[in-house]
């Protein structure tokens, strides 16, 4: 775990997970990134990571708060009213199988490329964390700052992956958080990577996050042209590969993708509506 996590004071979140744990006891090559761009206000102690030949981590992460409810007390009637419902199963929380949302797809050099986001629920104990760690490994992904399964306890993990052809999808942007931090206004975080494996495709695929209120993202290319991503649902033959979409299980922000024409690459991106 990173030093910022180790130095955090115990919060209500930590207490909640300790109580949940006590209740349980009673019973390849990474996709190269050409450029990274952060926009909007600087959120306090935020961490996300971008996959390069070696993983690059940016900023820090912060623990959110979780209200502790359902503690028994008082007379019999009061106890009945305050007893918490049994926790949802790991399967219902998507601990072992993530929620997946496809963001964009297209064709490059005769092969299909695609971008998806996976959201994995937070394990509540070591048994759940062990199974999640193994499930992630089978997919060839590695969560931020998790050197051992126990590091995943209490953390939601997400991954934006890019695949091309028959190759295994590779993680591009990823993070582990206690609680999703909402984006607002023109907040934007993005990374540029490549469509395929050839050098010509470098910097032609941009993946990022924006506030749910954003209606348009403009991606500017080095040749002076611009691609526009707008909210979309489903896919059609008219898709350009650029779109803003909501992601199942991902709170506080939407995701977007932009693609550049041949012969140019990423320069910048901004929320324009």
What does the pLDDT read at residue 234? 84
pLDDT at 82: 55
Spatial CB neighbours of 188, under 8 Å, sequence gap ≥ 6 = 37, 38, 39, 40, 208, 209, 210, 214, 217, 269, 270, 271
Containing structural domain, residue 21: 3-27+30-271
Minimal CA–CA distance to 115: which of 198, 190, 225, 44? 190
Tokens, residue 127: 């048994």
Instruction: Report the Cα 208 to chain-centroid distance in Å.
Output: 10
Distance of CA 89 to the CA centre of its chain: 22
Report the chain (273 residues): mean pLDDT per 10 consecutive residues. Answer: 41 46 43 45 42 33 30 41 69 96 93 96 97 96 90 97 92 95 96 86 95 97 96 80 95 96 95 97
Q: How many domains does the chain have?
A: 1
For residue 160, the model assigns a pLDDT of 97
Phi, psi of 22 (to 5 degrees): -65, -40
Asked whether the beta carbons of 180 and 252 are under 8 A apart, the reply is: yes
Read off φ and ψ for residue 262, nearest 5 degrees: -60, 145
Tell me, what's the pLDDT at 69? 28
Owner of token pair 């990374």: 191
What is the H or E stretch that residue 25 is in? Answer: helix 12-26
Burial class of residue 77, CB neighbours in 10 A (0-12, 13-18, 19+): exposed
Q: Which two tokens stand for residue 205?
A: 């695929």
Please tell me the number of Cα atoms within 13 Å of 102 on its side-chain side. 11
In terms of Cα–Cα distance, which of 188, 155, 159, 161 is closest to 174? 159
What is the reported pLDDT for 100? 97
Q: Which tokens go with 32?
A: 């190269």
User: What pLDDT was estimated at residue 270?
Assistant: 97
Distance, CA of 195 to CA of 202 (rounded, Å): 7
- Residues 6 or more apart whose CB falls under 8 angstroms from that of 80 comprise none
CA atoms within 13 A on the CB side of 58: 15
């Amino acid at each position: 775990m990173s030093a910022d996590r180790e130095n955090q004071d115990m919060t209500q979140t930590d207490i909640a997970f300790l109580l949940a744990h006590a209740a349980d006891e009673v019973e390849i090559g990474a996709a190269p990134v050409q450029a990274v761009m952060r926009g909007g206000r600087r959120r306090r102690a935020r961490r996300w990571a971008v996959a390069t030949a070696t993983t690059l981590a940016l900023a820090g992460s912060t623990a959110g708060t979780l209200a502790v409810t359902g503690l028994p007390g008082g007379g019999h009637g009061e106890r009945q009213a305050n007893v918490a419902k049994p926790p949802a199963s790991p399967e219902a929380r998507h601990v072992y199988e993530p929620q997946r949302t496809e963001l964009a797809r297209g064709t490059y050099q005769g092969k299909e490329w695609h971008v998806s986001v996976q959201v994995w629920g937070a394990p509540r104990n070591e048994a759940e964390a062990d199974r999640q760690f193994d499930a992630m490994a089978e997919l060839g992904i590695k969560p931020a700052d998790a050197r051992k399964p126990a590091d995943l306890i209490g953390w939601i993990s997400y991954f934006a992956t890019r695949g091309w052809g028959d190759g295994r999808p590779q993680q591009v942007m990823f993070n582990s958080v206690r609680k999703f931090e909402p984006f607002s206004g023109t907040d934007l975080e993005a990374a540029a990577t490549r469509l395929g494996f050839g050098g010509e495709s470098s910097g032609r695929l941009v993946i990022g996050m924006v506030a749910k209120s954003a209606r348009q993202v403009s991606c500017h290319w080095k040749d002076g042209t611009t691609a526009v991503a707008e909210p979309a649902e489903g896919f059609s033959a008219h898709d350009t590969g650029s779109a803003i979409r909501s992601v199942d299980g991902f709170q506080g922000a939407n995701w977007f993708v932009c693609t550049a024409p041949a012969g140019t690459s990423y320069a910048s991106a901004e929320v324009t509506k």
